[in-house]
Amino acid sequence: MNLPSKEISPAVDIRGLNHWFGNGETRKQILQSISMQIEPGEVVLLTGPSGCGKTTLLTLIGALRKVEDGDLIVFGHQLRGSLRKNRQRLRRQIGMIFQGHNLLRCLTAEQNVQMGSDLLRGFSYSERRNQAREWLKVVGLEDQMNKLPHDLSGGQKQRVAIARALAARPKLLLADEPTSALDSSTGREVVDLLKRLARNQSCSVLMVTHDPRILDVADRLLKMEDGRLIPPVR
Amino acid sequence: MNSFWKTRRIPLAWLLLSRQPLRLFVALAGICFAGILMFMQLGFRDGLFDASVTVHKLFDTDLVLMSPRSMSSISMSGFPRRRLIQTMAHDDVIGITPVNWNFLLWRNPETLSTRSILALGFEPSDPLLKDSRFAFKAKALNIRGRVLFDDLSRNEFGPVSKWFLEGRTVETEVAGKRVRVAGLVSLGPSFGADGNLITSRETFLNLSPSTPQGSIEIGLIRLKPYSDPEVVVTSLTKSLPNDVRVLTRNEFIEFEKNYWRTSTSIGFIFSLGAAMGFVVGCVIVYQILYSDVSDHLPEYATLLAMGYRLKTLLGVVAREGILLAIMGYLPAYASGQALYALVRNATKLPVQMDIDRAVLVFSLILVMCMGSALLAMRRLVDADPAEIF
């Protein structure tokens, strides 16, 4: 395979990706010959009815699943046949924001964010803690640093999750319906914040969403149905 | 130091434990209980073995001569006294004390019931015990029919010490013959003997007429300072006929302990009790750690998705195990000390906290917690980061 030269290499390059769930009789194809690219710094939204394979695609790009068929190249790293150890190392460059915030219940907001910055090497403990505080300030939670997730509102939790994802300085951010648990104005705020911060970091974003109110933040909109990408409208 | 700050992370294990105080409390209570159980059972076991040699430890001696037919303090056989005198020929031997050793019937002066008591007979002018005040007390034994009574003897022998200290003349019968208590000594009851008395050889032979004149049960041998007891034992064994055994003081003590260890089920019973404590602790810690890992599985999966290594997460569970072990051990140690004091007062058994046992119980608790952590870690493998989206 010819890899494009480094300057113009996309963050994510997918060609002819197929994926199945189950075995034998019950084996079901989830993804059918997906091909797409995400450029560095680009914000891509992925929509489609539930069960069409969006989340599966996200977990494949996030190196959380084994690639069965097709090429999936993230930052120049071929994920098909990639070792568990390499995938784990790659995940450090990918930030993830989940539908449920998935914060660690036993950690304060600040400590949760620091779990993100702790992944960075070469910084002392206090430097990493200061970075965590900076991120919380950026997402507007400087007053809530020592609260446990339990004591935060849904929007605040999602903002902590964003801060945690960005604290590891990812080059790619994957978000799975980050606004689904939030009311419309909070959801809007969170997505705007996400986009602004990603821009500043020149970090690509791939966001799966059902939420029609936030579609306008996208640089590019992708639609999926029954495991296929519907030809994109640029 | 620099690398410590570079590698320092959020103390996740500690926070996982401490942010669930109720679960932590239950876990610590369980570990502490297991620790106390092990401390008590092992303490009793060692205490009972130590108790079998309370008198043995008090003798002022370097070597001990005894009959090869003697099995333990409760079945001592006699040997010719002249064997002990023969040892004087050795250059390093500076003193000997022949001792008669037998169980006699003591009549309780208050209730008049009889009970078996360990009687030691020796020449009052010879050294017998290490206690420096003993030689003075022993002078009273020069009069025939006088005995020294062990004030640590069990209460069943009658209020002898109390009466004696009140200034009363305490007279009673030993083996059907009248004796008078001429003083008190502190020896302590042992396994075989509920009480002790010391008397002169002359009185002893009078009380126990079946003992042949020239026969003794124990010969104490004192050596020159800086002589090597092992070497003297070897040369004495070579020069003496095989109707006697020569032991060092420690061998003499071990000989007695070994009898109780191997010929009775005490060791087994108490070790089994300690093993029970260990198993109970394992079950509790495993339950706690397993449910802890299960409850936090989505969070562990999130960490994996963020790029943390499985090894790091296994380390978190292992650290939880170590923290539980340390935090559970400290109260167990304190309670163990308190209970030992209680047992000492109630039973007069020499139950002590010694370093060996403190280390042993800590190791067992650590093994318990780490083993449970290892088993709980298997659950971590189920943490699939792909499932959390």
State residue B121's pLDDT score: 94
Q: Are B163 and B157 in contact (CB under 8 A)?
A: no
State residue B9's pLDDT score: 82
Does the pLDDT value for residue B72 go beyond 80? yes
Q: Closest to A91 (Cβ–Cβ): which among B5, B306, B388?
A: B306
Where in chain B does DSSP place strands (E)? 63-66, 79-80, 93-107, 114-122, 146-150, 171-174, 177-185, 196-200, 215-216, 218-223, 245-248
State residue B349's pLDDT score: 75
Nearest CA in chain A to B20: A106
Does the pLDDT value for residue A5 go beyond 80? no
Does the pLDDT value for residue A232 go beyond 70? no
Q: How many helices (H) and strands (E) does chain A have?
A: 6, 10
Confidence of residue B65 (pLDDT cuts 50, 70, 90): very high
How does the average pLDDT of chain B come out, rounded? 90
Does the pLDDT value for residue A7 go beyond 60? no
Average pLDDT of the residues in A36-56: 88
State residue B50's pLDDT score: 84
Residues 6 or more apart in contact with residue A196 via CB below 8 angstroms: none
DSSP B193: -
Nearest CA of chain B to the CA of A98: how many Å?
6
State residue B229's pLDDT score: 92
In tens, the pLDDT along A70-100 reads 999 998 889 888 888 888 888 888 998 887 7
> Within 13 Å, how many C-alpha atoms sit on residue A143's CB side?
3
State residue A81's pLDDT score: 86
Confidence of residue B73 (pLDDT cuts 50, 70, 90): confident
Q: Are A116 and A167 in contact (CB under 8 A)?
A: yes
Average pLDDT of the residues in A56-66: 89
State residue B379's pLDDT score: 85
Residues 6 or more apart in contact with residue A159 via CB below 8 angstroms: A139, A140, A141, A190, A193
Nearest CA in chain B to A176: B389
CA distance B253 to B107: 30
The β-bridge partners of A67 are A80
DSSP A24: G
Q: Closest to B10 (Cβ–Cβ): which among A111, A122, A168?
A: A111
Confidence of residue B1 (pLDDT cuts 50, 70, 90): low
Average pLDDT of the residues in B215-223: 94
Contact B307 A91 (CB under 8 A): yes
State residue A187's pLDDT score: 83
Q: Which residues of A touch B (CB under 8 A)?
A: 55, 58-59, 62, 64-65, 88-94, 96, 98-100, 102, 104-107, 111, 114-116, 118-119, 121-126, 148, 164-165, 168, 176
Does the pLDDT value for residue A140 go beyond 70? yes
Name every chain A residue with its beta carbon within 8 A of the beta carbon of B9: 118, 125
CA distance B281 to B368: 7
Nearest CA of chain A to the CA of B356: how many Å?
38
Name every chain B residue with its beta carbon within 8 A of the beta carbon of A158: none
State residue B203's pLDDT score: 94
CA distance A199 to A173: 11
In tens, the pLDDT along B132-190 reads 888 888 999 999 999 999 988 888 899 999 999 999 999 999 999 999 999 999 988 88
Q: Residue A133 is encoded by which pair of tokens?
A: 């505080």
